[in-house]
């Protein structure tokens, strides 16, 4: 099913005749890249742009990993014309920049991480416990995420929100006689 999308600014043409106002129709007359018809059509009565199918990222498969997949952009030529006189027409250019949708959630490389630490007083503030890692399959800013400790034993630990490195923040809460295993949740 077509998904009609808003474009900014809205495609709109007017008949400036003071008395008789003729209905106006809209049509896409040209575009690039050449496969634009695969993805777009225009509702002729109101100039609404409709997307016909999902636009996939373009990947370059020449072995160059520095070239990231990207979305194509489209340049369309739209003609508006009066139905009572086809010679009364005008055209406008429409540039479409496709953006990534946030479809994926971050996922950890492992479901369970284990670390070993000494107890206080050998344990010091800012000692590194372990590093958790996650990835997000989206692109651009939709790929960005932050790590956060949601379960933190006596606030004794902290996590670097960008790297996933878990540090000791309050070493004196780590006492093997009171608790031999500490569980954190990221």
Q: What is the pLDDT of residue 2?
A: 62
Q: Do 84 and 136 have their domain in common?
A: no
Q: Which of 40, 74, 97 is the last residue of a domain?
A: 97
Q: Do 89 and 25 have their domain in common?
A: yes
Neighbours of 36 (CB within 10 A): 17
Domain membership of residue 67 (yes or no) is yes
Q: What is the pLDDT of residue 10?
A: 73
Domain membership of residue 178 (yes or no) is no
Average pLDDT, the chain: 87
What whole-number distance in Å separates Cα of residue 155 and Cα of residue 158? 8
Query: Mean pLDDT throughout 162-170?
Result: 96
Using left for φ > 0, alpha for ψ between -120 and 50, and beta otherwise, residue 47 falls in: left
Domain span including residue 151: 107-173
Q: Do 93 and 111 have their domain in common?
A: no
Q: Do 146 and 61 have their domain in common?
A: no
Using left for φ > 0, alpha for ψ between -120 and 50, and beta otherwise, residue 45 falls in: alpha
Q: Do 80 and 11 have their domain in common?
A: yes
Domain membership of residue 28 (yes or no) is yes
Q: Do 158 and 73 have their domain in common?
A: no
Q: What is the DSSP letter of 185?
A: B
Q: Do 91 and 158 have their domain in common?
A: no
Q: Do 68 and 114 have their domain in common?
A: no
Q: Which of 97, 118, 146 is the last residue of a domain?
A: 97
The count of structural domains within the chain is 2
pLDDT above 90: residue 28: yes
């Amino acid at each position: 099913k077509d998904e009609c999308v808003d474009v900014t600014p809205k495609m709109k043409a007017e008949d400036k005749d003071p008395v008789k106002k003729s209905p106006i129709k809209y049509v896409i007359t040209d575009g690039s890249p050449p496969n634009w018809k695969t993805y777009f059509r225009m509702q002729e009565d109101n100039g609404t742009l409709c997307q016909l199918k999902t636009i996939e990222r373009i990947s370059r498969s020449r072995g160059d990993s520095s070239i990231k997949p990207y979305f194509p952009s489209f340049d369309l030529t739209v003609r508006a014309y009066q139905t009572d006189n086809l010679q009364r027409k005008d055209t406008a250019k429409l540039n479409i920049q496709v953006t990534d949708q946030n479809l994926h959630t971050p996922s950890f490389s492992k479901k369970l991480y284990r670390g070993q630490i000494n107890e206080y007083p050998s344990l010091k503030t800012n000692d590194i416990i372990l590093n958790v890692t996650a990835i997000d399959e989206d692109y651009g800013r939709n790929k960005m995420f932050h790590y956060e400790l949601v379960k933190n034993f006596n606030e004794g630990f902290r996590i670097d929100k960008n790297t996933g490195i878990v540090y000791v923040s309050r070493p004196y809460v780590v006492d093997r006689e009171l608790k031999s295993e500490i569980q954190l949740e990221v």
